[in-house]
Amino acid sequence: MDSSIERELESCKSAAEEGYASAKAKYDDIRATLNDAAQKLLQAEREQNEVKRIQNTELITRQKDELRRLTDEVKKIGDGLQSLRESTKIFSIVVYGRTEAGKSTLMEILTHGNGQSIGKGKQRTTLDVRDYFWNGLKITDVPGVCAFDGAVDETKALAAAKAADLILFLIRSDGVQPDEAEKLAQLRNLGKPVLGVINVQKSFPESYDELDVEDLQEALAKTKDINDIVQQFKEFAALHNQDWRDIKFVATHLLSAYLTQDKDPTVFNLSRFAEVEDFILEKVRRDGRFLRIKTFADAVAVPMSNLILKIYEQSARSLLESKIWFEKTQELGKWSENFSKRAKERMETLYTQSLEKIDAAIYNFSEKHYEDDRAGEHWQKKFKSLKLDEDYQKLLNELAGECERKRRELSDELTQKLSKMSIGDAKAKVSLDSTIPWTKVGGGILSGVGGFILARGASFVFPPLGIALTVIGILGAVFGESTEETIKKNKKKIRDAITEPSHAALKEMHGELKKVFNEKIWKEGVCDFWDLLAKYQFMTARLGKSQYELAAKLFGKFTDLNFKLLREAAIYKSAGAAQVSYIPRIPGERMLILAARSNLDTKKISELLGEKILVVKPEKNFYETVKNILGVEFQIKSYRLALDTEEKKAECAFAFFPKSKVDATNFKLAQQIAGRPIVMR
């Protein structure tokens, strides 16, 4: 083994422990942050349980499920760190490429194998992950990617790549495909540094004796053609919002290298495989120690960057949901004002009409029953025949039905809007399945008011009037009154006798109507329903705020990791320093350094990290910084967390709404530092 490689690998061992310790410390901080969020959620659940009318709500359940999933994802990070520590005691390189690219041939050359692992034709040769050792390095051959029915192979390959310090990505010179580029984009999203190898394709006989040396020289001498293929491949990076200009490729003819490695040094040298070996070893000598630190840092940073964006997306969803609840609360409020006014007018109109109906009936009754000694009994039947109780019950049912229809209309609209709610582009659509317990408020309005007036109307009893009328008749005869005068007085006496209790009965019936309307329809049907909508509005707003506050806290841990990685890179490359405030980062793609002062050599750091590095001076106004990163203007919208009549005192959650389309990379970077969800719709 080369002594310089040996020394570097020893340094890599200590760097791995250093990288693990740093990553583990941040992982522990992240777990503590999630535990704190769990405690706050328990408090929110206790608060919800105090609201007895809200049954089967999914809000807290959904948040608990999301936090549980997040905790599980973070636990996987910890498990991965420990596994990484145990499995990568030495520097690890994974050879990646599509089926038939020549991976197994490359491994046979490095290990001086007998060729049994080299594929024939279009068969998938490597079906499992296999480790080899070369110059003190662990070289891992993984199943080929981009093969038909090779999904399982690709899963194995990607899992192995996650634990690697360096990726050797192999392509062929006879054409590259978009699906190959997609796999490289996945690796870059893992934050993995990549070295490229292009396997020059030229038909050669498999017998060493039949090799045409001139053909081999000619094929490898066509550097322009080879460079064009590499450039064509790198152009696929734009499809994945990445930049692969930093990836270096070296050309070789793997088959000739394999056939001649132990037979003809001259032809072996012509194959340029020695350049591949030097290519790998030089990268390890130069950057091995740092790459070991980066492997552990990115084992936490890569999944955390994705989780942070996901939590912000959940926060945006919650706030948009709150807005939908708010709109329906407002709609119900406006409708209820008109409904209350119309209901009162209809109740008073019915009272007036009923009073007129009673008075007319009393007059007609007195005209016929002025000498009836059972007039009270007969009036009782007459009063009931007026069916005032049914009129009142009908009105009550109509008002209850109108309220019920409005509630169902609002509930249907809410369910529809919530189910269609989306965030971001079509691929990022988020659908909600909300079960809203509208009809459970008050047990249903119509069933709650049925029979109230009918029951009261049947209980009215009038006093017997017959004796009084008989006495009047006798007195009239004694004192010589005329029959006409006696009849007139008797009629008036009857009217006076039955008017007061009849009016009293109507007033009691009317009072019962207003009581049932106020207690059942207005309070339970309207006010309690409005209260339910408002509580959901405030709960979803509070949920959104708690989510983006959690995301902001996790970003603090994430930026600490990025800061350590940047500092290590700057020291390692003697690339200067910076007074850094934030470091939003998309691993494998871009690092944005917000620094008041900086003399960083971003080119050196970019080559080392395999990411585009940008240094930006933050604005005094934080929102201006966010706007500059987004590249577009945005609106800030507020969402109330509780009912407060004074606008200035209302506590609110907030979200940013860009006024025009935003570049996907700029969005991810800006979202990390915004501290509020940026809603792309």
- Residue ranges of domains in the chain: 3-28+75-202+213-313, 328-548, 551-674
Does pLDDT of 465 surpass 80? no
Does pLDDT of 211 surpass 70? no
Residue range 102-126, pLDDT digits in tens:
888 898 888 886 655 554 444 445 5
Does pLDDT of 61 surpass 90? no
Percent of the chain's residues with pLDDT above 70: 83
201 CB-near residues (< 8 Å, 6+ apart): 172, 173, 174
Residue range 397-412, pLDDT digits in tens:
999 999 999 999 999 9
Per-residue confidence at 147, pLDDT binned at 50, 70, 90? low
Does pLDDT of 55 surpass 70? no
Q: Which pLDDT belongs to residue 626?
A: 95
Q: The tokens 């392509």 sit on which residue?
A: 171
Does pLDDT of 198 surpass 80? yes
Residue type, 209: D
Does pLDDT of 130 surpass 50? yes
Per-residue confidence at 344, pLDDT binned at 50, 70, 90? very high
SS3 280: helix
pLDDT (average), residues 191-208: 79
Per-residue CA distances from 241 to 14, 121, 590, 607 (Å): 35, 34, 10, 18
Burial class (CB in 10 A: 0-12, 13-18, 19+), 501: middle
CA 171 – CA 411 distance, rounded (Å): 57
521 CB-near residues (< 8 Å, 6+ apart): 343, 396, 399, 400, 403, 445, 449
Total Cβ atoms within 10 A of residue 2: 13
Does pLDDT of 296 surpass 60? yes
Per-residue confidence at 436, pLDDT binned at 50, 70, 90? very low
Q: Poorest-confidence range of 143-152, 353-362, 374-383, 665-674?
A: 143-152
Q: Which pLDDT belongs to residue 433?
A: 34
Where do the DSSP E strands lie in 34-121?
A: 92-97
Q: Which pLDDT belongs to residue 438?
A: 42
Does pLDDT of 146 surpass 80? no
> Is 0.85 surpassed by the pTM of this model?
no
Per-residue CA distances from 14 to 10, 44, 63, 81, 285 (Å): 7, 46, 41, 16, 15
Q: Which pLDDT belongs to residue 217?
A: 80
Per-residue confidence at 394, pLDDT binned at 50, 70, 90? very high
SS3 291: helix
Q: Poorest-confidence range of 54-58, 191-195, 293-297?
A: 54-58
Which two three-digit tokens encode residue 229? 């293929």
Residues 606/585, Cβ–Cβ less than 8 Å: no
Total Cβ atoms within 10 A of residue 174: 10
For 582: left if phi > 0, alpha if psi spans -120 to 50, otherwise beta; the answer is: beta
Q: Which pLDDT belongs to residue 117?
A: 52
Does pLDDT of 555 surpass 70? yes
Does pLDDT of 71 surpass 70? yes
CA 214 – CA 218 distance, rounded (Å): 6
User: Is pLDDT larger for residue 359 or for residue 191?
Assistant: 359
Q: The tokens 């871009």 sit on which residue?
A: 590
Total Cβ atoms within 10 A of residue 637: 16
Residue range 597-645, pLDDT digits in tens:
999 999 999 988 888 999 999 998 989 999 999 999 999 999 999 887 6
CA 130 – CA 140 distance, rounded (Å): 6
Q: Which pLDDT belongs to residue 57?
A: 56
Per-residue CA distances from 166 to 84, 92, 208, 297, 640 (Å): 14, 7, 33, 14, 49
Per-residue confidence at 215, pLDDT binned at 50, 70, 90? confident
Q: Poorest-confidence range of 202-216, 221-235, 527-541?
A: 202-216
pLDDT (average), residues 664-669: 93
The H or E element spanning position 637 is strand 634-640
Residue range 9-35, pLDDT digits in tens:
888 888 888 888 989 999 999 988 888
Q: Pick the closest to residue 515 from 401, 403, 392, 402 (CA basis).
A: 392
Q: How would you classify the pairing of strands 166-172 and 130-134? A: unpaired
Residue range 498-544, pLDDT digits in tens:
999 999 999 999 999 999 999 999 998 999 999 989 988 988 898 89
- Selected from 3.30.70.270, 3.40.50.300, 3.40.50.970, 3.30.160.60, the CATH number assigned to the domain covering 3-28+75-202+213-313 reads 3.40.50.300
CA 570 – CA 574 distance, rounded (Å): 5
CA 256 – CA 41 distance, rounded (Å): 64
Q: Which pLDDT belongs to residue 480?
A: 52
Q: Poorest-confidence range of 306-310, 470-474, 576-580, 657-661?
A: 470-474
Residues 179/146, Cβ–Cβ less than 8 Å: yes
Residues 350/392, Cβ–Cβ less than 8 Å: yes
